[in-house]
Amino acid sequence: MTEHRFLSWAEKEARRDYIKVSERGGEIVGIVAIVLIALFFYAHQAWSTGFFTSAFGPIEAFFLYGSILISTAGPLARFLTGRRNISRIPELMASIFWIACSVWLLISFPFNFAHFGDVLPDFLQFLVSWITNDIAKIVLALGTLGGIVFTVLNAILYRKVCSLMRLSKMH
């Protein structure tokens, strides 16, 4: 991304820092979706579907559920504050935690994706039946790399937007 395009992006973000009430409501929808994802995995654990292998211990559970639930930090901060930029701070912390968790889970890989759809109704299982352990590892690795890029860009964007907002208050 060129410096000019990044500056243009940061200026746009500074102008739209305040979130409309309708957008704040959308953040709640996002939080509910994240909680449902956590419950999907918890159903696997509670029903002993075979999705979690014997390598899935307390540390892996902490990293899996923690990485999912901490992703509510950004939407929750945007909902509570009504601001985008200040919400990047909890989002950044969540991203760093997510990266660490995903690396751990990629190394230990306590999953058996042959059972991934087992908690879904029979007529929906075909939607995820194509996901193998190898595909899941690739997606997790790509997500980790994407998380690193997102974290760096988001940190730079946060600082630049703060700077632009301070300048606009001075004028």
Task: Report the 10 Å Cβ neighbour count for 76.
Answer: 19
Residue 83, classed as helix, strand or coil, is strand
Give the type of residue at 112. N
What is the structure's pLDDT at 170? 58
109 φ/ψ sector (left φ>0, alpha ψ -120 to 50, else beta): left
Residue 18, SS3 per DSSP: strand
Per-residue pLDDT at 171 exceeds 80: no
Q: What residue spans define the domains of the chain?
A: 17-170
The pLDDT of residue 87 is above 90: yes
Query: pTM of the full predicted structure?
Result: 0.89
Predicted local confidence at residue 21, as pLDDT: 92
The Cα 81–Cα 35 span in angstroms is 21
Per-residue pLDDT at 1:
61
